[in-house]
Structure 1
């Protein structure tokens, strides 16, 4: 269940970041407010997920997947360019998240 809350935290963080970009530097206040609220919701979901998920793993997943998701949204919506190193970085983030979730043999 904690990973579902973490997934909602990631999703709402990506939505919040997207809304902040869409607010065009505070020129569209309603979008800024919605983005700010989305970040608040993300923090609530993240706090709930930390009841079970260790901080080091939860935060790494949240920031890594959020970064990759935001880069993809930038590419799809705002036609921002992604270089080979950007794609490589996102693949490495996904690999890192997978490795964080592999059970330890210790």
Structure 2
């Protein structure tokens, strides 16, 4: 259940971050409200996930998956160009998240 909460938290954070570009510096109400609500949901769900997941592992997953998803959204919806360096960096981030999850000893709290 904690990983599901973390996943939804990540998706809410990605939506909020992606709406920031559309908010025009918080000058457009709709995207601004989406950003604020998304961050609120994201941090609330992250706090629930942290009840059982170790903080370091949860944050590594949060930041790594979030970076990759925000970059994908920027590429798909905003036309951001992704060079070889960006793609190599994304591959390393994904590899890091996998290493943390597959090879970390289970811990509590």
Query: What range is the shorter-chain TM-score in?
Result: over 0.9
RMSD, aligned CA = 1.5
- 1:75 aligned residue: 75
- 1:87 aligned residue: 87
- 1:4 aligned residue: 4
2:54 aligned with 1:54, yes or no? yes
Q: 1:24: Cα distance to partner?
A: 1.8
Q: 1:96: Cα distance to partner?
A: 0.7
**TM-score of the two chains, using structure 1 as the length reference:** 0.93
For residues 88 and 13 of structure 2, the distance between their equivalents in structure 1, rounded to whole angstroms, comes to 22
Secondary structure of 2:64 counterpart: helix
Q: 1:71: Cα distance to partner?
A: 0.6
**TM-score of the two chains, using structure 2 as the length reference:** 0.91
Structure 1 runs of 4+ aligned residues shifted over 6 Å read none
Unaligned runs of 5+ residues in structure 1 are none
For residues 48 and 27 of structure 2, the distance between their equivalents in structure 1, rounded to whole angstroms, comes to 33
Unaligned runs of 5+ residues in structure 2 are none
2:35 aligned with 1:35, yes or no? yes
